[in-house]
Structure 1
Amino acid sequence: MKELKAFLRELEDRSGIEFKIATENGELIYKSDSYRQNTNTTYHSFVLSNNKFVLSINKEFQSCIKLLLYSIENKYNEISLLRYKDIEKLIEGKNSEVKKAKIEMIKKDSVLFLIRLNSNVYDALNVINQMYTSSDIIKMVYKSDIIVLGEFEDVHEHAVSIREAIISNLFCSCIVSFSEISRENFDLESAYKRARECLVLCENFSIKEEVIDYNKLFLEKITYYMNKELKEEILNRVKNKFDELDMEMLNTIDKFVENGLNISNTAKKLYIHRNTLIYRLDKLKKETGFDIKDFKEAAVFFIAFLIWKENK
């Protein structure tokens, strides 16, 4: 927005036209120093990247409005395109090709959301543009996925909101992963790789969650990069036992792990009595030898379970 404001100042100086631009909610974008609203003021709505703005200008300049808006829209599109190209370069590790001043403008404590859909990518981008109208939040399509980059207070809540908005509007499959970036170590390339790795891990291990925090996939990552021979050794030990587990037990295991080994929360999510869940966990211990109510045994079991799921 700083670049756009600089252009608007230059446009005013060159044209001699005084004007004011604000969002449809009244947030000021630019106002000429000597601009004054009066009975001769006329208002014109226009759209930039799905965001609505209002141009306020004196009626004496009415004949210049179309040219003024054309100039603003062209410059906005040019700035947006260059900004997206800079983001692409940073994601691809080509930091040397981006001016240091440009990096400093976007350098902040941020979150990178990576949104993957089975269809309707550009329609989904429109939904996101309507959710986040601030130019401080970057929304773009990159390699058939959508990237959203910006500062968010409750990251997980925003991820859930993005997914729910897309699904309710487009009725399509949607997965959202995210990775946080610190101002001190502003590395978009690594953040993108982490968010993309989330999607790879989810697909590889048939993870049912559709909002994925990179920091919550520690065991999945350990398992994914584990030595092949060790994986085979573990699989050989558990395969026959795990193959015998029915869908009810598999779902119970997934929910128990998803709820942090908390019996009460898991029972609520499964809509069963607490004692029924304990019975199932005791049954699992008899069938597999693992007591997943115990944290250490649960960690070992879960790695073995992931290896088994990977080879189903």
Structure 2
Amino acid sequence: MYSFKGSFKHLLENINIPFTIKTYEGEILVDSINSENEEKVETVVTFNDKTLIIETLSKYSICLDLLKYCIEVKLNELLKSKEEIISEIIKGQDVSEEVIKEIIPFVLDEFNLINLKLNQYDNNIIERLNEIFQKENAIIDKIDNYIVIVCISNDINETISKIINYINGDEKYYLSYANVKTVFELRDKFKVTKGRIELAKKYQLSSKVYSEKSLLFEEVIDCIDKKEKEKIYYNFYEAFSKFDEELIRTIEIFFNSGLCVSEASEKLYIHRNTLLYRIEKIKKISHYDISKFNEAAEFKIPFLICKSMMNNDIK
């Protein structure tokens, strides 16, 4: 049965009324009554299809209903699933440390959070993902249209690769992940990973996977005043509207490759010289040489703003 002593520890510490909880068969689960000779009163509660008997001394009979209520609250907490507890924590609801320790103790130490957003939600996706983590400590649930995975991974990149292979049929997805020191910072980490996904969607970025430290540049751009964004947009629109899909993809892959020509050309499946030709073409249109770091940084600000506004993502 459940480890009631751990779960009721705070009741034993904070309630001055001595009480006993035992099963209908007589097994004592919790006992803080030191006197066996004094007269007692009792009541019953049902937990998980089992009848439990609550006893206290007769002189506390007036408090029996209140005692029963407190114990029922704690029992209801124990009936919550792992997924319900994680959902409540992320939504900012109070969950006692005793209940967490009782049901999902591994989240009291360091663990990983993976946040997944699919273009189209598959009702079977959680069941399929559970197959990946069936031999590991993991909790998978849908929260606010995001698929949240709480797990312990020795190699987060390998774990993410497995997830991506499973959902490869749906190319439109975004994934963000974070390291969580303790469950009590889980809510903040969820907000961070959710924010990374929303930024990636807003600026229609080609990459699909982001750590909690990714997209700091986009985050800064997102904080620019709306009027200033509009000014930048109108100043650069004429030039940027000349970029076709091929050039836009080239720019994105080149940035994602850290301005590395060989890596970008490999990802684009083109010859190095072809990429250099495209970079020169971009320079002629925009007057920015994106092969140079400083000019690439200056270029990226209006590029992201114009791209987003042209797709009506920024009003």
Asked if these proteins are the same fold (TM beyond 0.5), I'd say yes
Question: How far is 1:243 from its partner?
Answer: 0.4
The 5 A counterparts of 1:1-312 are 81-94=80-93, 97-103=94-100, 105=105, 106-134=107-135, 136-167=137-168, 173-183=172-182, 186-312=184-310
TM-superposed CA distance for 1:100, in Å, is 2.1
Instruction: Report the Cα distance in structure 2 between the residues aligned to 1:158 and 1:80, rounded to whole angstroms.
Output: 30
Alpha-carbon offset, residue 160 of structure 1: 2.7
Q: CA deviation at 1:296?
A: 1.5
Correspondence for 1:26: none
CA 117–294 in structure 1, closer or farther in 2 if over 3 Å, else same = same
- SS in structure 2 at match of 1:278: helix
Letter in 2 for 1:160: S
**Cα distance in 1 between the residues matched to 2:171 and 2:305:** 30
C-alpha distance in structure 1 between counterparts of 2:283 and 2:79, whole Å: 57
Q: Provide closer, same or farther for how the CA distance between residues 127 and 240 of structure 1 changes in structure 2, counting only shifts above 3 A.
A: same
TM-score (ref. length: structure 1) = 0.69
Partner Cα separation in structure 1 for residue 91 and residue 306 of structure 2 = 34
Question: How far apart are the structure 1 equivalents of 2:276 and 2:160?
Answer: 33
Unaligned runs of 5+ in 1: 7-13, 17-69, 72-77
The 2-side partners of 1:119 and 1:282 are apart by 38
Whole-Å Cα distance in 2 between the matches of residues 208 and 82 of structure 1? 37
Stretch of structure 1 that moved more, 204-213 or 102-111: 102-111
- The question of whether the paired residues in 2 share the 8 Å contact of 1:167 and 1:173 is answered with no
Deviation at 1:301, TM superposition (A): 0.9
In the alignment, residue 87 of structure 1 is paired with which amino acid? I
Aligned to 2:69: none
| Aligned equivalent of 1:64 | none
**Tell me, what secondary structure is at the counterpart of 2:295?**
helix
Number of residue pairs matched by the alignment: 246
Counterpart residue type for residue 97 of structure 2: K
In 2 relative to 1, CA 80–143 (structure 1 residues): closer, same or farther, beyond 3 Å? farther
- Relative to structure 1, the CA distance from residue 225 to residue 298 in structure 2 (aligned partners, 3 Å threshold; closer, same or farther) is same
Distance 1:3 1:245, change over 3 A: farther
Per-residue deviation, residues 155-175 of structure 1 (Å, max 9, x unmatched) = 23322321221335xx57433
Alignment partner of 1:187: what SS? helix
Q: Which amino acid aligns with 1:305?
A: F
Paired with 2:127 and 2:3, the residues of 1 have a C-alpha distance of 23
Give the share of equivalent positions with the same residue, in percent.
26
Q: CA deviation at 1:123?
A: 0.5
Deviations 1:53-89 (A, max 9, x none): xxxxxxxxxxxxxxxxx99xxxxxx968343222122
8 Å CA contact 1:160–1:211 kept in 2: the answer is: no
Contact 1:113 1:147 in 2 (8 A): yes
Determine the C-alpha separation between the residues in 1 that align with 2:84 and 2:296: 46
Contact map agreement 1:121 1:146 (CA 8 A) in 2: no
Q: Which amino acid aligns with 2:90?
A: I
Partners of 1:294 and 1:246 in 2: CA distance: 22
Structure 1: which amino acid aligns with 2:282?
A: L
Residue 15 of structure 1: how far off its partner (Å): 11
Q: CA RMSD in A?
A: 3.3
Matches of 2:237 and 2:157, distance apart in 1: 35
Query: Secondary structure of 2:80's match?
Result: helix
Contact 1:139 1:149 in 2 (8 A): yes
What runs of 5+ residues in structure 2 fail to find an aligned partner?
7-24, 28-48, 51-76, 311-315
Distance in 1 (CA, whole Å) between partners of 2:245 and 2:121 is 32
Asked if the contact 1:291/1:298 (under 8 Å) is kept, the reply is: yes
What is the distance in 2 between the residues matched to 1:193 and 1:199? Answer: 10
Take 2:207 and 2:171, find their aligned partners in 1: how far apart are those partners? 15
Q: Could you say which structure has the larger radius of gyration?
A: 2
Once the two structures are TM-superposed, the CA of residue 187 in structure 1 deviates from its matched residue by 0.8
Task: Give the alignment's TM-score, normalised by structure 2.
Answer: 0.68
CA distance in 1, matches of 2:79, 2:272: 54
In 2 relative to 1, CA 237–151 (structure 1 residues): closer, same or farther, beyond 3 Å? same
